Amino acid sequence: MLEIGKRGGVGERDVWEAADTLLLKGFRPTVERIRAQIGRGSPNTVGPHLDSWFKALGSRIQDPSAFCASSEAPDAVSQAARTFWEAALTAAREACTDELTQDREALAQEAAGIEKERADLAGQRIRLADAAQTQQTLIDTLKTQVEDARASLSAAATERVALMASHERQIAQLHAERATLEDRLGAADEKLVAMQNELSAVKSGCDRDIKEALLRFDQARSEARVAQNALAELRQHASAQDAALASLTKQLAAAEAGRKTAIQANVSLENAVAAEKAEALEVKSKVQILETELRQAEEVQATLQAALDAERSRASELALLLANSQGEIVQALRSLEQSKKGSPAGLDPRGRTTKRKRGIPMR
């Protein structure tokens, strides 16, 4: 009994009937032709049924009645079917023989190709083994290089972190130094302002002391004119008075020089302030220079004060001497007038200092 395919499937009977139909049409039954004839079925299902059909084909050919119609058919139909079936069998045998020959030749060619491919695959396998060995060696080398590169990168990263930390410390130190320098510059500016004020006060004090000294000298000279008659007895002291007056003139010249030094120190101080704002790096040295000039100005002031004190004492002595030595005072005044003519242009005939234009207004 032929198996009938389940619902939706392909059975042995379906495959046999399709194979008989293809054989009667003169085609060699194959899996693809049977699937096309039936319209469904997988190669795994059709293949075994087709093999069983080929196994039974010989016995069926020897028994022509196996392909006959049922006994109920008329004799004429049975005879026609038998004739048709025998013709189909003959054609099928010839077709099968030709196809088998072609299949044998194709299989021989395929076997030769497979053998060649097998040899090629063996050579390729050897080449692949060599290439794999080379690749493995290269991979080992690359792994070593990668490990070395990783170690180098780790060392470089560590060095970079240390360098960044060092840079950050240097930057913090620079910020601290900058803040310190700014504080020093602010203190220097304040100190310079204080020094300017102090120098202005010193200059004002010097001018005031010089004016007072000149006023007292004028008063002494007026008293000397009044006491000209009393100075006749002091002729023997003329030389000493000449020396005293010459010393006084030198002291006044020194006072004028100190005043000029103070003015120059003030000019230098203002120039130093302007230069300090443009060149912050030289502020310390300029401040030291200004401090030195300030000390010099203070020394000049002290010298001037000492000279003024000496002048006051000498003026008192001179007043006493002028009261007794009119003739010697007249000679001394003539010598003083001559010494004033040879003195610096900064003194006028009355002994007062003239204000020169020096870029900084006199106070």
Residues 220 and 322 placed together within one structural domain of the fold: yes
Q: Is 123 helix (H, G, I), strand (E, B) or coil?
A: helix
Structure confidence by residue, pLDDT tens digits, 254-273 = 878 877 886 787 787 778 76
> Is residue 137 assigned to a domain?
no
Residues 195 and 328 placed together within one structural domain of the fold: yes
Is residue 362 over pLDDT 60? no
User: What span, in angstroms and rounded, lies between the C-alpha atoms of 363 and 350?
Assistant: 20
DSSP H or E run through 82: helix 75-226
Q: What phi and psi, each to the nearest 5 degrees, are found at residue 218?
A: -65, -40
Residue after which a domain boundary falls, among 95, 121, 147? 121
pLDDT band at 19 (very low <50, low <70, confident <90, very high): very high
Closest residue by Cα to residue 192 from 274, 279, 261, 301:
274
User: Which pLDDT belongs to residue 351?
Assistant: 47
Tell me the residue range of the domain where 234 lies: 189-341
> Is residue 349 assigned to a domain?
no
Structure confidence by residue, pLDDT tens digits, 99-134 = 778 877 887 888 888 888 888 888 888 988 888 888
- In this prediction, residues 282-290 reach a mean pLDDT of 75
Contacts of 81 (CB under 8 A, 6+ apart): 67, 68, 69, 73
User: Which pLDDT belongs to residue 66?
Assistant: 58
> Is residue 362 assigned to a domain?
no
| Degrees, nearest 5: CA angle 95-53-76 | 70
Per the model's pLDDT, the better-predicted residue between 152 and 354 turns out to be 152
User: Which pLDDT belongs to residue 51?
Assistant: 94
> Is residue 86 assigned to a domain?
yes
Cα torsion 279, 284, 289, 295: sign: positive
Is residue 91 over pLDDT 70? yes
> Is residue 126 assigned to a domain?
no
> Is residue 149 assigned to a domain?
no
Q: How many residues does the chain have?
A: 363
CB atoms within 10 A of CB 330: 19
Residues 233 and 333 placed together within one structural domain of the fold: yes
The structure tokens 């200004």 sit at: 290
Structure confidence by residue, pLDDT tens digits, 302-343 = 887 887 788 778 777 776 776 676 677 677 778 877 877 765
Structure confidence by residue, pLDDT tens digits, 194-222 = 888 887 887 788 788 778 867 887 886 77
pTM of the model: 0.23
> How many structural domains does the chain have?
2
Residues 210 and 330 placed together within one structural domain of the fold: yes
Residue after which a domain boundary falls, among 78, 98, 121? 121
Per the model's pLDDT, the better-predicted residue between 271 and 236 turns out to be 271
Specify whether the CB–CB gap between 293 and 268 falls below 8 A.
yes
Q: Is 6 helix (H, G, I), strand (E, B) or coil?
A: coil
**Mean of the per-residue pLDDT values of the chain:** 77
Structure confidence by residue, pLDDT tens digits, 29-38 = 999 999 999 9
Residues 71 and 198 placed together within one structural domain of the fold: no
User: Which pLDDT belongs to residue 35?
Assistant: 93
> Is residue 175 assigned to a domain?
no
Per the model's pLDDT, the better-predicted residue between 322 and 46 turns out to be 46
